[in-house]
Homo-oligomer: A and B are copies of this chain.
Amino acid sequence: MAKASFPASFPAKDQQFFDPEVQTLPREQLLTLQWQRLKRQWERIWTTPVPFFARKFAAAGATAKDLQTFADLRRLPTTNKDELRQSEAEHPPFGDYRGAPPEQAVRLGTSTGTSGRPTLILWTRKDLEVDYCASFRARWRWGIRPGMCLANAHPFGSNAGGWHFSHGIEGLGILNVPSGPPGSDEEIRDVLEVWRRLRPDAYRLFGNVATRFAEAARAWGLDPERDLNLRIAGDHPAEQYAMVSSGLEALPLLGSACAERDGAHVAEDLAVVEVIDRHTGQP
């Protein structure tokens, strides 16, 4: 995996994978890599330590010696957002569940708050590098290539999406046109003027955002497709934002969907994924 924030060079445009060395690693080597990385995280819980997880696993009867195979993962309790919220409330402001000391973090974001009070997200510089590398793979998977121009309207601020998305685009040598979510009429018009001048090769807009920009363009006498190269695929966000996959877009290191638009690829060198029955809580 490339270490720098920007990759040193680009793959050939017709290459299927951005990072074939990792993405096509033989199964056995992949499992070895997974295991090394999982083990390192596990040991960190007991040696750094990470009090929240040490407490939680100890309460379930697990010690540092109790992770010997992947199968042992199934005997460990899962964690939900409420527990993270509680940890942050009891050990303000960051909780005691962080894998790195908060003073090593360089960026703060907040979760969306869908299920309750937003939790705080911290990234160290290493975390950002891992996220960006995963983002390069995911964006490449969409078929966008160096030399193209892509407009996006992701929000920024404490929302991590815009940052990681943009860096993934820029690192590939694609001209990123960060246009922000639609704001005032004047702001929308400024954005449309830029799009009219550039006619980007591609857009990444959620459906409602694309519709809002398209309506504003028509009100201004423009034809979105002819003048902006902006096509409205359908009302559902999944239709406009091709190859979106449940939640994965916001967590680039987990993986992403591809041109098949049927399921998603998991970045197995970076994440061990366990599928849980939401009703029973069991794997």
Give chain A's interface residues, CB within 8 Å of chain B.
4-6, 88, 92-93, 102-108, 110, 113, 118, 120, 122, 125, 128, 147, 149, 155-158, 162, 166, 169-171, 173-180, 190-191, 193-194, 197-198
Contacts and interface: CB of A to CB of B under 8 A. Distances in A.
A155 to B, nearest CB: 8
Contacts of A169: 106
B179 A157 contact: yes
B190 A118 contact: yes
B198 A107 contact: no
Given A4-B4, A6-B5, A197-B93, A179 B158 contact: yes
A5 B147 CA distance: 21
Contact of A156 (B170, B173, B178, B197): B178
A100 to B, nearest CB: 12
B120 A194 contact: yes
Given A110-B194, A120-B197, A190-B110, A175 B102 contact: yes
Contacts of A122: 175
A180 B177 CA distance: 18
A158 B178 contact: yes
Contacts of A179: 157-158
Given A156-B157, A156-B178, 19 more contacts: A5-B5, A93-B197, A93-B198, A103-B175, A106-B170, A107-B176, A108-B178, A108-B198, A110-B190, A110-B194, A122-B175, A125-B170, A125-B173, A128-B170, A156-B162, A156-B180, A157-B178, A157-B179, A158-B191
